[in-house]
Amino acid sequence: MKNETYEYPLTSEEFRTIYSKVPRLTVEIIVKSEKGILLTLRDIEPYKGMWHLPGGTVHFDERLPDAVVRVAKKELGINVMSSKFVDYIEYPTHLQHSFDSPVGMAFLVEYDGEIKTDRQASEAQWFLEAPANIVTEQSAFIKKLL
């Protein structure tokens, strides 16, 4: 049964149990302009204190475009007007910082609204090149985009 009202469909224990055994599907939000690519500074683990592409876990029975809209609204406060699948990012080094192994589906978005980070990030900033303090796999991905 599809439930569109929940914020977190799994308890922390369920999340850990499931994703310590299988890959976790995520969406990565790419906001690009003449100022560069928008990254946020993580305030939560894993990768606390590092720059990264905003993103989040795809919920069960959630279509990827719907996950993009939900995650962009939650993490950046923006309304997605359109999105386009660009590529995927595998995170083999994630296991060094956490317990799971995500695979991110990256979507370039056009949006409306003012960018405002949520509790997961202390700030958002535009970059014309990948900063030194960024998740390894995202650095390589961003270099390809720019």
Q: Please tell me the predicted confidence (pLDDT) of residue 8.
A: 67
- Domain assignment present for residue 6? The answer is no
pLDDT classification of 133: cutoffs 50, 70, 90? very high
Q: Please tell me the predicted confidence (pLDDT) of residue 7.
A: 65
- Domain assignment present for residue 3? The answer is no
- Domain assignment present for residue 133? The answer is yes
Residues 6+ apart with CB under 8 A from 37: 30, 31, 53, 126, 127, 142, 145, 146
**Residue range of the domain that includes 71:** 12-145
- How far apart (Å, rounded) are the C-alpha atoms in residues 61 and 45? 26
Predicted TM-score of the model (pTM): 0.88
Instruction: Report the phi/psi class of residue 47: left, alpha or beta, with left for phi > 0 and alpha for psi in -120 to 50.
Output: left
Q: Looking at the 3D structure of the chain, how many domains does it have?
A: 1
The enclosing domain of 23 has a CATH number of 3.90.79.10
